Amino acid sequence: MSERHFEVSPLTEVMLADCSVCPHRALLAEGKCVQGDICVTVHSGRQIDRFLRRNPQFAPDYLNDSFWERRAIAARHAPLEMLRNRPRDADEVVRRVLASRLPIDELDDYLHDTDREVRMTVAARIAPECLTALLGDEDYLVRLQVAKRMPHGQLRRMAHDPDREVRKEVARRMPPFALSLLAKDEDEEVRRLVVSRMLPDDAAKMLADADWVVRLEAVQRAPVEFITELVDDDEPDVRAAVRQRLDEFLQGDNQ
């Protein structure tokens, strides 16, 4: 995947155009273009963007330009109707711009784009009920974006995603009553998130977890009658938490 963007190096920024042959040279007198600063004809993303911000009426003229950055910036500023039904651009940066601007019901052609940032943009914008089309995406960052927006009722479909970061996001968003699906996750960070949001009876089932942080959180959330089994836990912090809860429970009974 290309990491190109709209910014250019300072050396590129000082490029000067030959205003005598520029089709927009009449704008010089109006201050709407400035040699070396606001110019659409040089290969400088900053200058091109400044020009089209000030003169958006010319953006459609550059949608088919041979320079990818000029096309991409033009796509930022051109009227939306000029972007619809365009042939797929060969450059991924241009496609990212299009994916960010087209109406959400016109993004089907970008669902399986070869560029992951295009797909991430689509995942961030399409209707939540359409996100299932990206559940099997090969890139975890795309699936992570899906997990952030997937309707709660469908999140269980992502409970066994191969990537830990995706499962962590699922653990943050899944309804508490459904978190038992992740109770046996292989990664302790996922289980820590799970137990921190579990219902008390489900948290009690995590008291025997191999990770002491999971056990500590389970002690805080499980019904008090279940935590006595950890009074002699190997981890001092877990033992201390058990004693504190038991003391608070006994004190409450005596009041």
Residue 250 has pLDDT above 90, yes or no: no
C-beta of residue 42 within 8 angstroms of C-beta of residue 49: no
Residue 12 scores a pLDDT above 70: no
According to the model, what pLDDT value does residue 45 have? Answer: 94
pLDDT of residue 29: 85
User: Which single residue is written with the structure tokens 């019901």?
Assistant: 105
pLDDT greater than 80 at residue 254: no
pLDDT per residue as tens digits for the range 168-218 = 999 999 999 999 999 999 999 999 999 999 999 999 999 999 999 999 999
pLDDT of residue 4: 55
Q: How many residues appear in the chain?
A: 255
Q: Decide: 97 and 76 in contact? Cβ < 8 Å.
A: yes
For the stretch 93-124, pLDDT in tens is 999 999 999 999 999 999 999 999 999 999 99
What global pTM score does this model have? 0.85
Q: Transcribe 3-24 into DSSP letters.
A: ---S---HHHHT----GGG-TT
Q: How confident is the model at residue 28 (pLDDT cuts 50, 70, 90)?
A: confident
Task: Give the model confidence (pLDDT) of 43-52 as tens digits.
Answer: 999 999 999 9
Model pLDDT, residue 51: 96
Which is higher by pLDDT, 143 or 36? Answer: 143
Percentage of the chain exceeding pLDDT 90 = 83
Q: Tell me which H or E stretch contains 215.
A: helix 212-221
pLDDT for the residue 6 = 47
Residue 17 above 80 pLDDT? no
pLDDT of residue 36: 87
Q: Examine the pLDDT at 85 and tell me if it is beyond 70.
A: yes
68, 86 contact by CB (below 8 A):
no
Mean pLDDT score of the chain: 92
Q: What is the DSSP string of 24-72?
A: TGGGTTTTS-BTTTB-SSSS-HHHHHHHHHH-GGGGGGGTT-SSHHHHH
